[in-house]
Each structure stands twice: as C-alpha cells, then as structure tokens.
Structure 1
C-alpha cells in the first residue's frame, strides 16, 4: 500500500510506526527534516521529485548479510530507471548515478531480532522532474535532465514498488549469488582505475572488483593487491563533487 501525505518531518521517522507493515510506502510531498547518508539533510522542491520510505520485514535474513537487502533495493531502482529509458548505475554503498551525477539518495535503517533482521526502512529520494538545482549541490541530475522529458511521479513510484517486491522475492527465495552478481555488474566505475580517498585524505588509485555480502567494497590497487573497505573507510573522488 502507498500512503501519500502532504508534509512530515521525515518519512523514515513515520515509517517506524507500527501501523505501517511489510511492503508499505510512505510518500511525502514535503519533508521538513529529511535525512541522507553521513548525517546530511535531504531537501526537494514540492511536486517535482519523489521522497518516500519503503517498509520491509526481512526476518529470514541473517544480520551479517544485511547488505544483500541494500543490493535488492538498489537493483530495483536501476530496474525501474531502465523501464523509463534511464541508464543508471549503483554507486557503493547505495547511491544511484547517471554518468558522474547523482540521481538517487538512499538511507537504509535496520532493526534486529536476535541473529536476523526484524524490520528495515529504506528512505529514498529520487530526482524526477527537477531541472534547476541549488548550485551548492555538487553533482545532481534528474530523470528529466537525463532524458529530456517529464515523468508521472506516481507511475515511477508504482513501478519501483513492483520491481522492489520482485527483487525482495528473489532474495527471500535464496537467489543470493545471482543478486550479488547482478549488483556487481551494475556498479558505478566497475573495473575502471580511479582515485579514492582514505579517512586521512590519502589518495590511492584502484579499480572496483565487487562487494562482499557483508558490504565491504573490494578494490584492486595498482600494486596488484586487493583490499576490502567498510563504509567510511574509503571515498570516491569525483570531479565537481
């Protein structure tokens, strides 16, 4: 079920309420305190984009494999964009890019029950029809800018919901390796040599080889060694960002 509301502080906060169950989406036109990754805020002009949260209850998934759920959600987003003629890639950990520009921001939050997940809320912001962005934003793009046409936002949201339930079913049925391999193939900058920045500011040249089920990014450095990095241990270097 998709619940559309005019205004809220954050759809992720709303989606934590018990009346929302597995598969529900909370869609708000305005968020007064929308959140993104790394503590950033997320703002969006009313009526142009999509800001919503999907509720999932993946009680079958071990805590150590929770990143597979992120893979399912991001694959569903790229499935959706392909349906609308947008060639998108997944930037680890879970942004969606068109070229070197950010189309989607995602904030996924989990709660746990023993050794498995109990409830997951996936907050998603999609730039749909916005064509003018704040110059302070480093590298935004929208579906409209990528294709030169406008979109029905409800149609985009309905399509994502269907695609995500398909990807979730794939994960629930145990097709983890197939999901991982497809995520890998759709990764932004896969196999390309690019600079990355460590927490201390040090730059390294490396190529993405993939990602582990637990979420670590696998990089092959120029000296031939392979290293695994957790979120916040490595950062992409992107021109203009």
Structure 2
C-alpha cells in the first residue's frame, strides 16, 4: 500500500509508508517541523502503537487489517474560527465513501464514523498548527476498521463484521482520498453551506429523541450544528442548547 495515487490532483502524490509507527498524526507533525512534507502528503502505517482519538482516547488497530493514516493540508483560506469546516468536509468524504460499500453509515458529532445499528467504525482527529496569519497546517488523522474482527469492544464494528468478508484496503483508500480531495476543493471554493447541509443530513440521531448527559441526564433532539461547530440539541422543555467538545455525552 505504498503506491502513488494516480486519480488525484495533489493528495497522495507524496506518500510516506511505514509498517509500524507510534502515531501517524505525531509523525506527520514531526515531518512538518522538519520540512519533509508539503500539502497533500500522506503518512500511512499498517500498525499504530499509540494511535490517538478525540478526548485523548487510545485507538488500537490490529496490524495489516485496517486503514490508519494522516493527511497534511494547508487550509490557509479558513479563519481559525472556521476550523470545524474542515472537519465537515473530511467527515463527509469518509462517510460517503464507506456508504458506497455498506448501508447505514452515519456521522456522530464531533468526529466519529459509525454504523447506526452496530457501532463505531472509525474516527477522525484533526490537529491544527496556527500562526499569526491563521491556520498554517492541518494534520487530518483517520482510523477505519476494515478487516479487523471486533468482538470485545462495546458499540464498535468493522467492514469485516458488517459483511463477513475481507476487503481490499488500497482500493478503499484510493476512493477515499479522491473523495476527500473533491470536498476539500469545494471547501476552498467557498461551498461551506452545501457541505454543512449534507453533513447535518448525515448526522447520527438527527431529529430523533434520545438521552444525553451534560451533567444531568435529559431527553433531547439534535437539530443541527452552530456556525462554530457546536452541537445544537433541543431539550424536552423546548430550549435550544449549544455544546462544544466534551460538553455532552450520548447515552
């Protein structure tokens, strides 16, 4: 899985492949500091020993089974207050690519990819480097459960679990990067409203009554996301509440 991608304009023309590393995000950040990568570079590993997820969670991936990689982007056209717009574009690209293979793929705010009945299939971790002008670099880390058999992790699944067969990881990777480049270019062209609308349409639990915990357990309905990326939940008393990362839990 270390070929050059032929079906993209700039993403994947420089691929750094490793059989194992601690974290593709950490390695990509190190390569940025050492000026060893440019926009479009990808760091991909067959195995991560210290992969990270949102909230500082560990992301363990069985060697040679899944997709774990990081993209280097330079979204200088985004204001630092618009960082979530990149999350929207990347999340859409991932969910729509996976939906070509499996039905029921949803986006769980802020950055999980899941099957609506079987559980989490992957996650996204975006880390930004800011300078006085704005966003200098973004490292987009993606981990997807493809051929790993998952039985002991609650509310988690994989392509293998969902379909009972193994998949060509390189083919999925190629399609994913192509779709990601397409949506990144749309974002660069200012098509934020279009991307945001499609993101909200694919949100897990959108317009459904469910239980959440923001310090107190309550019933509410996800109605969308605020401009900065905060999750909007309408509580049973009719009030609208806006939540940032780590401020609300799904029950």
User: TM-score, length-normalised on structure 2?
Assistant: 0.89
Q: Which residue pairs with 2:46 in the alignment?
A: 29
Q: Do the aligned partners of 1:180 and 1:213 also contact (CA within 8 Å) in 2?
A: no
Q: Which residue pairs with 2:120 in the alignment?
A: 102
1:81-124 Cα offsets, whole Å, 9 max, x none, are 12223431100001001014000122111111235211111111
Q: Which residue pairs with 1:126 in the alignment?
A: 144
**Which of these residues, 18, 24, 46, is aligned with residue 11 of structure 1?**
24
Query: Any residues of structure 2 matched to 1:50-129 within 5 Å, and which?
Result: 50-100=67-117, 101-129=119-147
Separation (CA, whole Å) in 1 of partners of 2:227 and 2:43: 28
Deviates more, 1:13-22 or 1:181-190: 13-22
Query: Any residues of structure 2 matched to 1:77-226 within 5 Å, and which?
Result: 77-100=94-117, 101-133=119-151, 135=152, 137-198=153-214, 200=215, 202-226=216-240
1:62-92 Cα offsets, whole Å, 9 max, x none, are 0111100000000000121122234311000
Unaligned runs of 5+ in 2: 1-11
**Per-residue deviation at 1:9?**
1.1
Let me know the Cα RMSD of the aligned residues.
Answer: 1.3
1:112-143 Cα offsets, whole Å, 9 max, x none, are 1235211111111100011234x2x2211111
Q: Do the aligned partners of 1:63 and 1:115 also contact (CA within 8 Å) in 2?
A: no
User: TM-score, length-normalised on structure 1?
Assistant: 0.93
Which secondary structure state, in structure 2, belongs to the residue aligned with residue 206 of structure 1? Answer: strand
Q: Do the aligned partners of 2:109 and 2:204 also contact (CA within 8 Å) in 1?
A: yes
Unaligned runs of 5+ in 1: none
Q: Do the aligned partners of 1:76 and 1:167 also contact (CA within 8 Å) in 2?
A: yes
